[in-house]
Structure 1
Amino acid sequence: MLALSISCSKKSNSPTMEILHPNDTLTRIEINSPQRYLLLPIEESQPEVQVRLVGDRPEDTWLDIRLAVDSIDYYVPLALPEGKSPATVEIIGLDRTAISYEKIQLADTFDTSAKDYYRPAYHHSPTYGWMNDPNGMIYKDGVYHLYYQYNPYGLKWGNMYWGHSSSRDLIHWEHHDLALARDTLGHIFSGNAILDKQGTAGFGKDAILAYYTAHNTHAGKQWQAQCLAYSLDNGKTFTKYAGNPILTPFDGVSDFRDPKVFWYAPEKSWYMIVSADKEMRFYRSQDLKKWDYVSAFGEGYGARPNQFECPDFFQLTDETTGKEKWVMIVNINPGCAFGGSATEYFVGTFDGKEFVPETAPEIAHWLDFGKDHYALVTFHNTGARTIGIPWVSNWQYANVTPFKQTRGTNGLPRDLFLFTKDGTSYVGARPSKEVEALRKEQVSLSLPQSIGEEVRLPDALKGLEDSFELELELTPAAKTTRVGLVLSNELGDELPIYLDLEKERITMDRTKSGLIDFGTKATPHDRESNDWRDRDGVNYQNDFAIATWAPLSLCTGKTYKLRLFVDRSMAELFVQGGRIAMTNLIFPRKPYATLRLYSEGGATQLHSAKLYRLGL
């Protein structure tokens, strides 16, 4: 047995660790005087090894962590038990010569100050670690709670917990301790939360109930089931229901996840939707614990091939006709026209028994026409407003994007609305009104009222540090074939956004936007065809370097209102008040400084142009 003692401080009363290797695969770290954290050195290129804090709590399970072998990319904190009692950490599979054994540290603090050049300045993101789907979003007592899929032990997917942030204005977010920790049932996958005003579940009035999927693998086979936890302190902490799991698939389907619970007044019942491979299943309950199967929707509908995930279900009143209709959000992976994951929706009717869409099975409607809009779900208990937030990434390359401190961010909050165009119902997404509070100052733009071939403003964006909002209202002449704008920097990085009036499209092209080569490391789903996304995308180079587009047929009239938000590593475009939304990641090597406007084939009238510096 090899023993190595490490002193973490030169003080005489310093906490110490003893590292023991009882055999070739197991390492035991005995911590004699614990501090708050054990800081684990991470090397992303290494395979995962198993780490656990030895204890009798359900959350003291084996974690999959990429501990450093040759060099250190960053540290992550492993929280030790409260108090100063001795603690033991075990590691399986890490070679004795790994640099981790020399560099592992004890500390009472962990530095989460922003160091990542690409971490957004005004969008929600965790202070460190990996984030994907938003979960359990709920509004209670003036506070918006945003839970999310979270891996606090690395910048790649794994070790799924529910992270937690809260806000009073949807803009300024406070980060909290983990809300739900993985346990013996497995990872804590996605779900939603509701306010049990009447105490129907038996945990008391106004309890917050969180429904989530437990995910595990047994004998190489995936197992997923729905579970329940409740909070009696306004969502700060949760207690898992002793009767978990509360719902398992009746046919043994392995992809059975992401519960969405909602109230259906005509039946005076609670309903749950669960994604089950390529369909959504409806269940009904009177007590929020026992659930009975009702029906299913989705087989053969929408974009294919795909895996249905992260459903949402709500009513919207059509702003065009005044009629109220049901909307089903279906996040799919793969299935995006440009490759990978995307958010699809269906509009139709629901009678408590089945959902019937208005569209034919082969029709796919997209909530966002970018490549980095996924897992959008809406807040519970927001009254007449339907407010959604997406995860901004794509499963093709989410694990290899060039972030260094936190990998994963959310899009701006957006109010969803329903409108009719040419007899078809569509869902739009406009930035929530709270977003205007981000405007710190309006920046002067010197632009003519008519755009000819080109207007170039070399320093228009200088000093904004890629955190700005640009609003344009323009009317192309009858002969105009293309009108657009280009953001660029001195390194040649550029982001063109243009209206192709001949093809009736609006396009955002990120093929020269900055760092793009990591797209060659993308891992498309095995159901996906390269030919498909090459065909449907524009200027396809790799799975990241691609241009995305939306049909201008969703707009009305010949005047176009564009609202563009840029925040370091992301660009969100809203057209005609949200009839078109387009969200894409970008990684410029230096902030964009130059703004160029151009018009081809004819002039374009510029009615207004407003530029704002944004910040918290």
Structure 2
Amino acid sequence: MNSVTSTLETYRPAMHYAAKDTWLNDPNGLVFHEGIYHLYYQNNPFGNVHSNMSWGHATSTDLVSWKEQPVAIPCDDAEEIYSGSIVVDTANSSGFGVDGKAPLVAIYTSAYKPGSPHEGTQAQSIAWSTDGGYTWTKYAGNPVLTRNSPEFRDPKVFRYNGPAGSYWVMAAVEAHAFTVLLYRSEDLKKWEYLSTFGPANGTGGIWECPDLFELPLNDDAAAMKWVLTVNMNPGGPNGGSAGQYFVGEFDGVTFSSETTLTEGMQDPERVPDYQWLDWGRDYYAAVSFSNVPDGRRLMIGWMNNWQYANHIPTSPWRSPMSLVRDVSLVSVNGQPRLVQQPVPEVRAASIFTAPLQRVTVNGQVPVEGGTAVQLIDITITPGSAEEVGLVVRGSANGTVGTRIGIRPGNGELIVDRTRSGDTRFHEAFPSSSRAPIAAGQDGSYTLQIFVDHCSVEVFANGGLVTVTELIFPDRTQTSLVLYSTGGTADAALQLTNIGKKEA
């Protein structure tokens, strides 16, 4: 690698997926099939800014190491290929299967270009694959569902089996109406309207990329709940793009939320009370994988924010994905809440774990072993401190870096990247994100912090709170410093270096 290439690749993630030399955004078509996880995504095959939307493709056997594949579904003169999903059509209801082999069917949004018969509209189309998801054939009868709308998009399709019957269900959005529309189909070609959900809770920006899935509450298979996620841009709790979720019931026709706080348009005063998928500024368009064994619900998001997405200082690639997350549902103070934890496969890729360190913090305490890529497990007991935390990817004296702190008096988790490195590329980037956090029964706070070349992902209190942020530090910024203000605190931390083999 020459020095020019090395400089350009300073921020390429070690733990996260990024395309080799092009742009990516929303994850699409997430599916597990025949032992392989398939990650499709919005991709510009011809450059590193948002344009020429097509479906890029990567594969993995372990959710950690991803191999980039050729573009799966390219744009053409008639349409760009916007977000969508993939199902394994086990019963061959679509009729696309051959020789007894179940097809994969992609359901995506056709964003029709000038000169197309559907010019100016977004509608839902399908394509199929019989070689395991590597080559795709578009259906001649596309689009299969249209509302003659310019903003009808992002179909997430799943197989419903319940009291109402067995059929395919699609969740899509009317983006500017802040609504999720549900449809049903027997064959993935003909669709019948079921119901509409929304507007509700966060409506500070357009709705995109919905998902609807079932989870057991507190691991109790007799207490199943439905979760509706929907991403929103802008209007997130800390600015710009974000995702929210609702928990309730789905009877095969209508989704009914039991966690809605605001019917209709949002109440600005209640935005901090809504249920957010992530409180950081760089976790968007998150959707879950289909067909995953053992009932696991796995989710991944785009690690960027539309406020500055086209401007982040990476080249020739632009934008990474988040870590894959295991998603579950627990009861907190009588209310259902999502828990998101990094898949254990990430920790299994560890190459070295240092001994546990116990430290009393009063001011600043440098910690040996800080690196550019690592997992930090830390338990913080605040004591008398007004704020306590750590500065990662920083200078030895802690004046430069990304500050991750707890303010127990305010019940806040803070991730401050205003001095994280290169913040000058866009005025919206330097920022401090805040998330509500409660101490455990013993008064402590637990954090898992995944530090990579261009990001931090914080999983607090077992994944009840997550904060995801891009950072762009100088390659020499690898120091780790504990700090407290206004008093003393105790911390127990363990550092793990994460490796990743080539896929």
When normalised by structure 2's length, the TM-score is: 0.90
Q: For the structure 1 residues 429 and 114, does the alpha-carbon distance in structure 2 shift closer, same or farther, using more than 3 Å as the test? A: farther
1:437 Cα deviation from its structure 2 partner:
2.6
Residue equivalent to 1:388: 299
1:173 Cα deviation from its structure 2 partner:
1.1
Q: Is residue 2:380 matched to residue 1:485?
A: no
Counterpart contact for 1:367–1:428, Cα < 8 Å:
no
The one-letter amino acid paired with 1:376 is: A
Map 1:398-417 → 2, pairs under 5 A: 398-417=309-328
Q: For the structure 1 residues 502 and 113, does the alpha-carbon distance in structure 2 shift closer, same or farther, using more than 3 Å as the test? A: closer
Residue equivalent to 1:246: 144
The one-letter amino acid paired with 1:245 is: P
The one-letter amino acid paired with 1:380 is: S
Q: For the structure 1 residues 113 and 514, does the alpha-carbon distance in structure 2 shift closer, same or farther, using more than 3 Å as the test? A: closer
Q: 1:230 aligns with which of 128, 133, 140?
A: 128
Q: For the structure 1 residues 330 and 564, does the alpha-carbon distance in structure 2 shift closer, same or farther, using more than 3 Å as the test? A: same
Residue equivalent to 1:467: 373
In 2, Cα distance between the equivalents of 1:304 and 1:280? 12
Counterpart contact for 2:86–2:157, Cα < 8 Å:
yes
1:482 Cα deviation from its structure 2 partner:
1.6
The one-letter amino acid paired with 2:183 is: Y
In 2, Cα distance between the equivalents of 1:160 and 1:256? 16
Counterpart contact for 2:387–2:406, Cα < 8 Å:
yes
- The range that moved more, 561-570 or 551-560, is 551-560
1:453 Cα deviation from its structure 2 partner:
3.4
The one-letter amino acid paired with 2:275 is: H
In 1, Cα distance between the equivalents of 2:308 and 2:347? 31
Residue equivalent to 2:265: none
Q: Is residue 2:484 matched to residue 1:610?
A: no
In 2, Cα distance between the equivalents of 1:593 and 1:449? 20
In 2, Cα distance between the equivalents of 1:186 and 1:114? 36
Q: For the structure 1 residues 578 and 237, does the alpha-carbon distance in structure 2 shift closer, same or farther, using more than 3 Å as the test? A: same
1:304 Cα deviation from its structure 2 partner:
2.2
Residue equivalent to 1:514: 421
Residue equivalent to 2:196: 296
1:473 Cα deviation from its structure 2 partner:
1.6
1:321 Cα deviation from its structure 2 partner:
6.8
Q: For the structure 1 residues 555 and 430, does the alpha-carbon distance in structure 2 shift closer, same or farther, using more than 3 Å as the test? A: farther
Q: Is residue 2:412 matched to residue 1:505?
A: yes
In 2, Cα distance between the equivalents of 1:554 and 1:217? 52
In 2, Cα distance between the equivalents of 1:360 and 1:161? 35
* Bigger radius of gyration among the two: 1
In 1, Cα distance between the equivalents of 2:476 and 2:141? 53
Unpaired runs of 5+ residues, structure 2, are: 263-272
1:598 Cα deviation from its structure 2 partner:
2.4
1:114 Cα deviation from its structure 2 partner:
9.6
The one-letter amino acid paired with 2:298 is: I
Q: 1:199 aligns with which of 63, 72, 92?
A: 92
Counterpart contact for 1:554–1:579, Cα < 8 Å:
no
Counterpart contact for 1:163–1:177, Cα < 8 Å:
yes
The one-letter amino acid paired with 1:216 is: Y
Q: 1:262 aligns with which of 130, 139, 158?
A: 158
SS of 1:268 mapped into structure 2: strand
Residue equivalent to 1:118: 11
Residue equivalent to 1:188: 81
In 2, Cα distance between the equivalents of 1:368 and 1:555? 20
Q: Deviations over 1:490-544 (max 9, x none)?
A: 6953111110011110100000101111122xxxxxxxxxxxxxxxxxxxxxx11
In 2, Cα distance between the equivalents of 1:211 and 1:169? 25
The one-letter amino acid paired with 1:399 is: N
1:602 Cα deviation from its structure 2 partner:
4.0
1:449 Cα deviation from its structure 2 partner:
4.2
Q: Deviations over 1:80-124 (max 9, x none)?
A: xxxxxxxxxxxxxxxxxxxxxxxxxxxxxxxx9995111112211
In 2, Cα distance between the equivalents of 1:568 and 1:591? 11
SS of 2:388 mapped into structure 1: strand
Q: For the structure 1 residues 402 and 511, does the alpha-carbon distance in structure 2 shift closer, same or farther, using more than 3 Å as the test? A: same
Q: 1:430 aligns with which of 335, 341, 346?
A: 341
Residue equivalent to 1:170: 63
Counterpart contact for 2:278–2:466, Cα < 8 Å:
yes
Map 1:35-184 → 2, pairs under 5 A: 115-184=8-77
1:356 Cα deviation from its structure 2 partner:
0.8
Q: Is residue 2:284 matched to residue 1:374?
A: yes
Map 1:209-224 → 2, pairs under 5 A: 209-218=105-114, 222-224=120-122
SS of 2:443 mapped into structure 1: coil
In 2, Cα distance between the equivalents of 1:424 and 1:407? 38
In 1, Cα distance between the equivalents of 2:258 and 2:454? 37
In 2, Cα distance between the equivalents of 1:285 and 1:194? 13
SS of 1:435 mapped into structure 2: helix
- The range that moved more, 592-601 or 302-311, is 592-601
1:596 Cα deviation from its structure 2 partner:
1.5
1:554 Cα deviation from its structure 2 partner:
8.3
In 2, Cα distance between the equivalents of 1:582 and 1:335? 16
The one-letter amino acid paired with 2:378 is: L
Residue equivalent to 1:577: 462
Residue equivalent to 2:268: none
- Kindly, what percent of the aligned residue pairs are identical? 38
Q: Deviations over 1:99-158 (max 9, x none)?
A: xxxxxxxxxxxxx99951111122111111100001001001110000010002111000
The one-letter amino acid paired with 1:414 is: R
1:169 Cα deviation from its structure 2 partner:
0.4
Q: Which has the higher contact order (CA 8 A, sep 6+)?
A: 2
Q: Deviations over 1:301-360 (max 9, x none)?
A: 011222111111101112277621000110111121222111111111111121111123
Residue equivalent to 1:343: 243
RMSD between aligned residues: 2.1
Counterpart contact for 1:421–1:554, Cα < 8 Å:
no
- The range that moved more, 508-517 or 320-329, is 320-329
Residue equivalent to 1:54: none
Q: For the structure 1 residues 449 and 569, does the alpha-carbon distance in structure 2 shift closer, same or farther, using more than 3 Å as the test? A: closer
1:615 Cα deviation from its structure 2 partner:
2.1
1:361 Cα deviation from its structure 2 partner:
4.2
SS of 1:153 mapped into structure 2: coil
Q: Is residue 2:469 matched to residue 1:562?
A: no
- The range that moved more, 416-425 or 215-224, is 215-224
Q: For the structure 1 residues 413 and 554, does the alpha-carbon distance in structure 2 shift closer, same or farther, using more than 3 Å as the test? A: farther
Residue equivalent to 1:311: 210
Q: For the structure 1 residues 218 and 152, does the alpha-carbon distance in structure 2 shift closer, same or farther, using more than 3 Å as the test? A: closer
In 2, Cα distance between the equivalents of 1:512 and 1:113? 23
In 1, Cα distance between the equivalents of 2:313 and 2:333? 42
Counterpart contact for 2:10–2:475, Cα < 8 Å:
no
Residue equivalent to 2:266: none
Unpaired runs of 5+ residues, structure 1, are: 1-73, 75-111, 521-542
Residue equivalent to 1:58: none
In 1, Cα distance between the equivalents of 2:89 and 2:420? 47
Q: Deviations over 1:355-385 (max 9, x none)?
A: 1111234262101110000011111011310
Counterpart contact for 2:26–2:42, Cα < 8 Å:
yes
In 1, Cα distance between the equivalents of 2:152 and 2:7? 37
Q: Is residue 2:231 matched to residue 1:331?
A: yes
Q: How many residues align?
A: 474
